[in-house]
A and B are shown apart, each in its own frame.
Chain A
Amino acid sequence: MSILDSIPHVTAEVQHRPWPRAVVTEAGWQAAIDRLVEGGLTLLGFWGEPTAVHMAMLDGGSAEIAVVTYECLAGTFPSVASRHPPALRLERTIHDLFGLVPAVADDLRPDLRPWLDHYVWGKSYPLSGRDASRDVRPYQFLPAEGEALHQVAVGPVHAGIIEPGHFRFTANGEHVVRLEQWLGYTHKGIESLMQGASLEVAAKLANRTSGDSAAAYAFAFACAVEAALQIVAPRQASLLRALMAELERLANHFGDIGAICNDASFALMHAQTGILRERCLRAANDAFGHRLMMDVIVPGGVSRNIAPDGVAAIQVLLAEIRKVFPRLIELYDNTASLQDRTVTTGIVKAEYARQFGAGGYVGRASDRDFDARQAIAYAPYNALSFEVPVLQAGDVNARVWIRIREVEQSVALIEQILQRLGPGGLETALPPRIGRGACEGMALIEAFRGDVLVWLRLDGELRVERCHLRDASWFQWPLLETAIEGNIIADFPICNKSFNCSYSGVDL
């Protein structure tokens, strides 16, 4: 039975690919929320338009996806967050950007605290298309009461070289009673810049949504455009995309493994993985002319072939990883002082990982075995063999081990890809225009920290009418708040680093 069979809907949107989108009434919308609350479906995305809200849902068992749309005729929609907490920040974002109001049952009050809006944009509801202003109220953090509790405010400017955000800790002595995050500091208005943008400009914006995942975002954006236009990238281009995605995963996983150990004051590992990370970036630069591989993946294919000596550079990299990395794994595993900091620290409960649909190493370290490369099996991963490591412990240590295992899998994947590369076209031509009007596409691509969702609608001239990019971090950040509870404040950096959530990717 498909997802939409169990949700009363008005009509299925035929120009939406590759998964269906249907307009639903209030009954259908509530039925969809019922399925999320029961756990039968996982919330995959939740975004707005000036007069509608869309919700993407995943059936974890069948890997089937569907989008439901509620038309907000009165400027309101039935609140999802009041019944299904994973939707909360997305719902607050919809209110901030579009001014649409979540309606809740009489005995509840919607959380209308701003999320992205810090009252300094010079306008309210910037994507609503209308002039409206909202009341400015001081931001209220959630209360925590008790004798001897004190608050510690951290950020937005942090001590390290990292992105800005605010963390409000309530502590009892050293122990964290509650952590509340307030983000939005890097909100650049990416979705508004997307509106009316050419595909070229929009692809550049997608590349710069979260710079550490440039290739993954470009990959997802390109696949969404191709789905909308019903074209397919050539085989060689598809292989090169996966090659870049895996190089990106390697570089980031090396960086993370080292940085986590560094937060336990184990600098040796940081130095060693820093070398491996730099080698990855240099190989990427040799192969694709850019260390972070920005702007190489484009709608239709790739903008350039791998450099003539690129394959050799990557083979040298793989040989180095195979030589050095096993010893580093052993070092990690045999250093008691390090294990003392990572084992049983910052546990994410499996039930939360499931409820929030946490992707990437956060989900897979807590028994959620979802990996878009395997579940959706998009090209070229449908023709490659790899395993998806899953652990149950859910602590910092488990998130390190998932990364270690994924490094091994990525090395194996790159070997397979290099064997398959050959001559072949790099780009499928896009139609100059589509006479029949708007078309919609969607893609779900596995970035190093989890699945990235891109949804877009193109107009007849192939300009972006609306584009929503959903980082995996949306469903991971809230779990960090749960993971730190009962841990000491001094362990927050190591917990935070083991998540390595994106700020820019969720602030947009």
Chain B
Amino acid sequence: MRKTLLESFTHGSLTEPAPAPDGSALAELAAKVDRAAQARLGRSLAIREVDAGSCNGCELEIHALSNAFYDIERFGLHFVASPRHADVLLVTGPVTKNMRQALERTYHATPDPKWVVAVGGCAIDGGIFRGSYACVGGVSEAVPVDLHIKGCPPSPTDLLKGLLALLEHVSAKR
């Protein structure tokens, strides 16, 4: 264990580089999210993820946001275990009818002010599952949505871009 830990110190950070004028798209994005979060939310935005019937592809990429490459917590964005602790609901899936009530209850359990981000193609309008007897067809059919993040599934970079857009939205709303 010591060797692994020591190497982590000596090898430097895997986290995609800090803001640089001509850095990668992710690095630029990282800088923007960081500044915006600092200015408007005091570096803290609590996110509760709700799977409303996704294929779990979106969940995999949302998970990836916490790995060493994206390290979402450096922006003050963090995932919480209960809607009662959350500022943002990150909702995936075409909203199956079997999940509709649970989603609505989760929404109502989230304190105001709150924002809902619909993640993935299905969350926009049901996507490939649209028209099924078992799907409501889009998160906005069930709860008010502030922002959609496209992609099937959206990459972690797309997700970060979306969260930046959310911060812009939040500031406009205030």
Residues of B within 8 A of A159 (CB): 81-82
* B interface bracket (residues with beta carbon within 8 Å of A): 35 or more
Min Cβ gap A481→B in Å is 21
Interface pair B55/A208, CB less than 8 Å apart: yes
Alpha-carbon separation in the docked complex, A391 to B5 (Å): 31
Contact of A189 among B60, B66, B133 (CB under 8 A): B133
Contact of B66 among A201, A205, A274 (CB under 8 A): A274
Q: Known contacts A157-B102, A205-B128, A278-B67; decide if A268 and B96 are in contact (CB<8 Å).
A: no
Interface pair A204/B128, CB less than 8 Å apart: yes
Contact pattern, B 147-168, Cβ under 8 Å of A = 1, otherwise 0:
0000011010000000000000
Q: Known contacts A126-B133, A186-B99, A291-B155; decide if A274 and B67 are in contact (CB<8 Å).
A: yes
A281 at the interface (CB under 8 A from B): yes
Residues of B within 8 A of A503 (CB): 56
Interface pair B57/A292, CB less than 8 Å apart: yes
Contact pattern, A 149-168, Cβ under 8 Å of B = 1, otherwise 0:
00000001101111110000
B10 at the interface (CB under 8 A from A): no
Name the interface residues of B35-59: CB closer than 8 Å to any CB of A: 49-59
Name the interface residues of B111-139: CB closer than 8 Å to any CB of A: 128-129, 131-135
Spot the interface stretch: A12-20, A210-218, A307-315. Answer: A210-218
Contact pattern, A 10-37, Cβ under 8 Å of B = 1, otherwise 0:
0000000000000000000000000000
Interface pair B57/A120, CB less than 8 Å apart: no
Interface pair B59/A121, CB less than 8 Å apart: no
Name the interface residues of A222-279: CB closer than 8 Å to any CB of B: 255, 268, 271-272, 274-275, 277-278
Alpha-carbon separation in the docked complex, A123 to B68 (Å): 47
Interface pair A157/B55, CB less than 8 Å apart: no
Alpha-carbon separation in the docked complex, A327 to B133 (Å): 50
Interface pair A271/B68, CB less than 8 Å apart: yes
B61 at the interface (CB under 8 A from A): yes
Alpha-carbon separation in the docked complex, A156 to B58 (Å): 18
Contact of B68 among A122, A214, A274, A504 (CB under 8 A): A274
A328 at the interface (CB under 8 A from B): yes
- Per DSSP, chain A at the interface is loop
Contact of B128 among A121, A186, A208, A212 (CB under 8 A): A208
Question: Which A residue's beta carbon lies closest to that of B132?
Answer: A189
Interface pair A162/B132, CB less than 8 Å apart: no
Contact pattern, B 1-43, Cβ under 8 Å of A = 1, otherwise 0:
1011100000000100000000000000000000000000000
Interface pair A188/B56, CB less than 8 Å apart: no
A-B contact count (CB 8 A): 148
Interface pair B152/A294, CB less than 8 Å apart: yes
Min Cβ gap B83→A in Å is 8
Residues of B within 8 A of A209 (CB): 55
Alpha-carbon separation in the docked complex, A209 to B106 (Å): 25
Min Cβ gap B169→A in Å is 22
Interface pair A292/B97, CB less than 8 Å apart: no
Interface pair B67/A327, CB less than 8 Å apart: no
A63 at the interface (CB under 8 A from B): no
Q: Known contacts A335-B1, A504-B55; decide if A188 and B155 are in contact (CB<8 Å).
A: no
Min Cβ gap B53→A in Å is 4
Residues of B within 8 A of A204 (CB): 128
A331 at the interface (CB under 8 A from B): yes
Contact of A212 among B14, B57, B101, B131 (CB under 8 A): B57
Min Cβ gap A214→B in Å is 7
Interface pair A186/B96, CB less than 8 Å apart: yes
Alpha-carbon separation in the docked complex, A211 to B83 (Å): 25
Name the interface residues of B50-106: CB closer than 8 Å to any CB of A: 50-64, 66-69, 79, 81-83, 93-94, 96-102, 106
Residues of A within 8 A of B52 (CB): 164
Question: Which A residue's beta carbon lies closest to that of B5?
Answer: A268
Residues of B within 8 A of A255 (CB): 60, 63
Interface pair B133/A120, CB less than 8 Å apart: no
Contact of B69 among A121, A272, A278 (CB under 8 A): A278
Name the interface residues of A436-485: CB closer than 8 Å to any CB of B: none
Interface pair A164/B51, CB less than 8 Å apart: yes
Residues of B within 8 A of A164 (CB): 51-53, 99, 102
Question: Which A residue's beta carbon lies closest to that of B70?
Answer: A278
Residues of A within 8 A of B82 (CB): 159
Alpha-carbon separation in the docked complex, A210 to B51 (Å): 13
A184 at the interface (CB under 8 A from B): yes
Interface pair A156/B102, CB less than 8 Å apart: yes
A410 at the interface (CB under 8 A from B): no
Min Cβ gap A286→B in Å is 13
Alpha-carbon separation in the docked complex, A259 to B82 (Å): 20
Alpha-carbon separation in the docked complex, A503 to B99 (Å): 13
A47 at the interface (CB under 8 A from B): no
Alpha-carbon separation in the docked complex, A389 to B102 (Å): 41
Contact of A188 among B4, B5, B81, B135 (CB under 8 A): B135
Residues of A within 8 A of B135 (CB): 188-189
Contact of B98 among A126, A186, A271 (CB under 8 A): A186
Interface pair A291/B53, CB less than 8 Å apart: no
Alpha-carbon separation in the docked complex, A71 to B3 (Å): 64
Interface pair B98/A187, CB less than 8 Å apart: yes
Interface pair A208/B57, CB less than 8 Å apart: yes
A118 at the interface (CB under 8 A from B): yes
Question: Which A residue's beta carbon lies closest to that of B126?
Answer: A188
A370 at the interface (CB under 8 A from B): no
Min Cβ gap A96→B in Å is 11
Min Cβ gap B8→A in Å is 8
Contact of B132 among A192, A201, A211 (CB under 8 A): A192
Other than the known A121-B133, A186-B93, A193-B131, what 6 A-B pairs have Cβ atoms closer than 8 Å?
A161-B59, A187-B134, A188-B135, A193-B128, A272-B4, A335-B1
Chain A to chain B contacts (Cβ below 8 Å), 10 pairs: A121-B97, A121-B133, A187-B98, A188-B53, A190-B129, A193-B131, A208-B57, A211-B57, A275-B69, A278-B64
List the 7 closest pairs (A to B, CB-CB), nearest first.
A211-B57, A189-B132, A189-B134, A159-B81, A211-B55, A274-B67, A208-B55
Residue positions of A touching B, CB distance < 8 A: 116, 118, 120-123, 126, 156-157, 159-164, 184-190, 192-193, 201, 204-205, 208-212, 214, 255, 268, 271-272, 274-275, 277-278, 281, 291-292, 294, 327-328, 331, 334-335, 502-504, 507
